[in-house]
Amino acid sequence: MCKHRWERTFDTVIIFYYIVSIINEVKNEGSMKISKKISVITLAALFSLLFAMTAFGATGKVTGLKQEKASTNTVSIAWDNYLGTNVKYIIETSYDNQTFKRTDSSYSASDLLYVKALKPVYVRVKAVSTTSENTVYAISDSIQVASVPADVKDLRQTTATTSSITISWTASEGATSYEIVRFVNNNEYVVGSTTSTTYTVDGFNNKLKNDTYVGVRPVRTVNGFSAKTTGFYNTEYLSPYKINLVPEKVQGLAITNYYNSLKEVTFGFTQPEYNDGYVYELYTYKKKKVSSGNLSSISYNTLKNIKNQFYKLRVRAYVTIDNKNYYGAWSDYTVFALQPKVGLKKSGKKLKITWKKVSGAKNYTVYMSTSKTGGYKKLTTTKKRAYTAKKFKKKKLNKKKTYYVYVVANRKEGKKTYKSKAVNCYYLY
């Protein structure tokens, strides 16, 4: 049976008193007797001291103390069972790892403590008698524990590329690091970690827009244990509609309608996945900028005051992130010109065809038909702005027939030839 600390101290005092008494007694005896007696006394004293010291230091160790779980206000700890009967455990906590106070007790080798451990909190466990908590069988070393840190705040996107986004947030109280998480089709992927409050997440593409969430999970790591939340709804995240990539290159840019009499054209293009708006630039064939600006539509945009010349048009999309516009690549140029206006004059079985100059045209192609709606055949391609037709389909013109004519202006850039759009035909009765 273990003695209390005061009992062990008393035994030790008695032993030393006995040794001193014997030494005084042998002072009056002969040298031989003194020597023998002192040897016996010394031996007895050593055994007595050893016994006393063993009794004084009988407290053992509680081993295996560790943290297993955590929430925002609790920590779960566990340890190895202390062998023996009539044992319970006292859990003590401290904020300086020196002064400990009782927090809880347990009859099993585990416990749940209610503590917000965002600052250093230390825990130790004592194995004590069930009949007297003053009888301490064993005690553990202390460990530091951690609860789940506070959620991050002000999570936002700050920059982007075509395949990545940069996010930032306000530091979380108690966090030692942050996990960056992507949720794709309800599956969680930890894509990185950082001790900073900014991170660049890459590997995006347009197909993931509607299914991708990006989250930031604060982590508090103490004594090898990482306290953090789990799951989609317990993580601060950006929804897909809050995520923007730099738009991809605009595709499908084309002139959709020509209004020769109004000197206007309309154009459209295919909408990229990510966009907050569009801008255009219009140039002459000599690369002189004519106009530029924002667009409000992808399908019906009007360019006015179009003159008789070739133009080059391009478009790009942008997204607005943190009050700054990020622009995608420019589309390929679409090159266009209004159809030349044609004049016709009959002279017997001949038809003289003239047309307006289109600046930037290399040459012109003349087409003729006996039907307004189809059957047009090429008569000639010429650099001039006049042509006299004498035959159609190898037959002389019949002055009693109506012939329909239009002219296309051609411009060659590199290996590609651009043509004015034929929307009108011209004829004489």
* 264 and 328 together in one domain: yes
pLDDT grade for 203, boundaries at 50, 70 and 90: confident
Contact (Cβ atoms closer than 8 angstroms) between residue 206 and residue 274:
yes
Residue 317 and residue 361 share a domain = no
Separation between Cα atoms, residue 123 and residue 94, nearest integer Å: 7
Q: Which of 378-382, 412-416, 425-429 has the lowest mean pLDDT?
A: 425-429
The stretch 207-211 carries a mean pLDDT of 67
pLDDT at 206 over 80: no
What value does the mean pLDDT take over residues 10-37?
44
Last residue of a domain, one of 242, 272, 302: 242
Neighbours of 274 (CB within 10 A): 21
DSSP class of 100: -
- Whole-number Å distance between alpha carbons of 250 and 275: 10
Instruction: Say yes or no: 178 and 104 in one domain.
Output: no
370: in domain:
yes
The pLDDT of residue 51 is above 50: no
* pLDDT higher than 90, residue 34: no
Q: 14 pLDDT exceeds 50?
A: no
pLDDT band at residue 186 under the 50/70/90 scheme: confident
Tokens of residue 198, six digits: 């900014």
User: In the predicted model, what is the mean pLDDT of residues 357-361?
Assistant: 97
For range 215-242, the mean pLDDT: 92
At 64 the pLDDT is: 97
* Distance between CA atoms of residues 43 and 65, nearest Å: 41
150 part of a folded domain: no
pLDDT at 95: 94
pLDDT score of 410 more than 90? yes
For residue 199, give Cα distances in angstroms to 155, 183, 191, 196, 314.
11, 16, 11, 8, 34
- 122 burial type by CB count under 10 A (0-12 exposed, 13-18 middle, 19+ buried): buried
Name, in order, each residue with C-beta under 8 angstroms of 228's C-beta and a sequence gap of 6 or more: 70, 148, 149, 179, 217, 218, 219, 220
Domain count, the chain: 5
> By the 8 A CB rule, do 100 and 124 touch?
yes
Instruction: For residue 151, tell me if it sits in a domain.
Output: no
Rounded Cα gap, residues 81 and 319, in angstroms: 61
Q: Is 363 contained in some domain?
A: yes
3-state SS, residue 20? helix
**Is the residue at 152 inside a domain?**
no
Evaluate if residue 56 carries a pLDDT over 90.
no
SS3 for 14?
helix
Residue 45 pLDDT exceeds 50: no
pLDDT the model gives residue 107: 95
Average pLDDT of span 220-235: 91
Q: How confident is the model at residue 57 (pLDDT cuts 50, 70, 90)?
A: very low
Tell me the pLDDT tens digit for each residue of 368-398. Answer: 999 999 999 999 999 999 999 999 999 999 9
Listed residue (219, 217, 196, 209) closest to 160, CA to CA: 209
Q: Under 8 Å CB-to-CB from 60, ≥6 apart: which residues?
A: 82, 127, 137, 138
What are residue 261's phi and psi, to 5 degrees? -65, -30
Answer yes or no: do 332 and 355 share one domain.
no
Of the candidates 70, 221, 66, the residue with the CA atom closest to the CA atom of residue 142: 66
CATH code at position 164 = 2.60.40.10
Q: Domain residues for 386?
A: 342-427
pLDDT mean over 24-30: 48
Query: Which pLDDT does position 224 carry in this prediction?
Result: 92
Three-state secondary-structure class, residue 11: helix
Residue 348, pLDDT score: 85
Contacts of 36 (CB under 8 A, 6+ apart): none
Closest CA to 61 of 124, 121, 2, 112: 124
- In the block, which residue shows the tokens 């017997």? 348
Same domain, 162 and 225: yes
pTM (whole model) above 0.95 = no
Calculate mean pLDDT across residues 69-83: 94
pLDDT given for residue 311 in this prediction: 98
Is 138 within 8 Å of 181 (Cβ atoms)?
A: no
In a domain, 285, yes or no: yes
pLDDT over 90 at 248, yes or no? yes
| Residues 224 and 176 grouped into a single domain | yes
Structure confidence by residue, pLDDT tens digits, 315-330: 999 999 999 999 999 9
Domain shared by 328 and 403, yes or no: no
* Mean of pLDDT values over 355-359: 97
Question: What pLDDT sits at residue 399?
Answer: 84
- The percentage of residues in the chain with a pLDDT greater than 70, rounded to a whole number, is 85
Q: What is the mean pLDDT of residues 56-82?
A: 89
Over residues 260-264, mean pLDDT: 95
Q: Which of the listed residues 316, 336, 356 is the one where a domain comes to its end?
A: 336
* Last residue of one domain, picked from the residues 282, 305, 336: 336
Percent of the chain with pLDDT over 90: 74
For residues 302 and 269, the answer to whether their CB atoms sit within 8 Å is: no
Pairing of strands 101-106, 342-347: unpaired
Can you give the pLDDT at residue 21? 52
Residue 133 belongs to a domain:
yes
Q: How confident is the model at residue 48 (pLDDT cuts 50, 70, 90)?
A: very low
